[in-house]
């Protein structure tokens, strides 16, 4: 499992399909700050809460110069259902082979309900305008994470 990213590291580039199957590339966001968040599964309570929190704060984040991309192993069709059902405005991308999740150290062993399992580690990486990691948060909570992130970023 790759080492966790730290401030100053180059953020691994990626191009993944969005909910409509269109390619979304991290490189296309150079010049803006990007919040890349990794979540286990669309249409689950915690992930829905987190995605809704990002959607509710999207204007505030955009005004502060941040774009938001959510990454999960879900297929584009499931992401489209998630987006439409919850009226999400964040960009959701599909990483079914978990290559990007792995590159960002957001996939691996974690503890769930007292057991060690392998899966998506709920994480958020903030990438600066030049493609470097500004902040990396691992094992974040679904609820309250966006509010904490806003505080941490001074937004």
Would you please indicate which residues are annotated as catalytic (active-site) residues?
47
What is the spatial distance between Cα 106 and Cα 63, in angstroms, rounded to a whole number? 27
* Per-residue H/E/C for the chain: CCCCCCCCCECCCCEEEECCCCEEEHHHHCCCEEEEEECCCCCCHHHHHHHHHHHHCHHHHHHCCEEEEEEECCCHHHHHHHHHHHCCCCEEEECCCCHHHHHCCCEEEEEECCEEEEEECCEEEEECCCCEEEEEEECCCCCCHHHHHHHHHCC
């Amino acid at each position: 499992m790759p080492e966790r990213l730290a401030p100053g590291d180059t953020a691994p580039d990626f191009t993944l399909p969005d909910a409509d199957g269109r390619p979304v590339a991290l490189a296309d966001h150079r010049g803006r700050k990007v919040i890349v968040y990794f979540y286990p599964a669309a249409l689950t309570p915690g992930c829905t809460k987190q995605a809704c929190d990002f959607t509710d704060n999207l204007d505030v984040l955009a005004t502060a110069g941040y774009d938001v991309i959510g990454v999960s192993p879900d297929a584009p069709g499931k992401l489209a259902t998630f987006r439409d059902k919850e009226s999400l405005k964040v960009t959701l991308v599909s990483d079914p082979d978990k290559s990007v999740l792995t590159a960002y150290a957001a996939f691996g062993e974690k503890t769930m309900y007292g057991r060690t399992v392998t899966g998506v580690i709920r994480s958020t990486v903030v990438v600066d305008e030049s493609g470097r990691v500004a902040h990396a948060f691992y094992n974040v909570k679904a609820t309250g994470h966006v509010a904490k992130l806003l505080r941490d970023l001074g937004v």
